Amino acid sequence: MPVEGRLVDAVADHRGRLLTIAELPPVPGVDVRERLVPGPPGGPDVRVRVYRPRAEQAALPAVLWIHGGGFCLGNVDSVHVGAAQAALHARAVVVAVSYRLAPEHPYPAGLDDCWAALEWIAGHPGELGADPARLAVAGASSGGALAAGLTLLARDRGGPALCFQHLSTPVLDDRLTTASMAAYTDTPVWNRRLAEESWQLYLGEDGPRDRLPVYAAPARAGDLSGLPPAYVSTAGLDPLRDEGLSYGLRLAEAGVPVELHNFPGAYHAFVDGVPPEEQQRIGIEHVTALRTGLHRPAADRVRPAADRV
């Protein structure tokens, strides 16, 4: 989402009401419904939108779809068409989650909401027409931080079992020490200045960063073993490029199957300066990677670390 000026000043412009299902643009072949699911302990209920291909009768893989926006912008309206198209072309039940945003709700509120939505999906396969053995998370930008954080939580809490993680230009590291973060200080869409502000809004300015939980900034995790297979995409002119590349390589080093693709000449989220035909190619690759990851044969999936000898 392109942002001019300060993120905190843009927040007021992105706190309008969500559209109703009737107001959303229809996507042929996809049914959409909305409901509230139980939130985290002490928190409010969580709104989710469920997208399902109309022609599919069998149980399908399920994906928790997490929007981006620097932890403080964006909503499920902004990913409506993408979530619907992913459901159709990846043959999946896609559940987009409306999580609480910073600065009003700093970490861990947004992650807790996403966790509550993930647990609800895992616990209601019959209602969703979903295959409980094929549950995944997908997130772009700051949604990628939340998605990656969920994989660490699921591993460390012993479930829900995840078969795949799909991370697109993900935010992963609050330390901002990579070469790309130093180089791209004034790039369109996203840059170092916005990254600094985003992390301050999400984590709060007074918290001790040296004891930051890895679930907030997944790049801080020392052990990436036992995580689900991954697709990670990065953009060549994005300050987040190197943290995404590093995370993908570290996953591979930990024995996690990874497809890692850097798109040179592209800015963050592939929305600025990318020709339409290139955007189409990138979009096709992303949904193809999702479909492949969701429909991978069970024998090819990674077992949890606790089950490995």
Catalytic residue numbers, as ranges: 141, 238, 268
Report d(CA 156, CA 226) in Å as an integer: 9
Q: Which two tokens stand for residue 122?
A: 């895992």
Report d(CA 25, CA 152) in Å as an integer: 35
Cβ pair 169, 244 in contact under 8 A? yes
Q: Which residues 6+ apart lie within 8 Å of 245 measured at CB?
A: 232, 234, 260, 262
How many Cα atoms occupy the beta-carbon half-sphere of 224 within 13 Å? 24
Residues 29-68 as b or e (16 or more Cβ within 10 Å = b): ebebeeeebebbeeeeebbbbbbbbeebeebbbbbbbbbb
Helix ranges (H only) for the chain are 7-10, 80-90, 109-123, 125-128, 142-157, 179-183, 192-203, 241-253, 276-294
Q: Which residue type occupies 108? A: P
Among 92, 84, 72, which Cα is nearest to 1's? 72
Cβ pair 277, 148 in contact under 8 A? no
Report d(CA 186, CA 304) in Å as an integer: 41
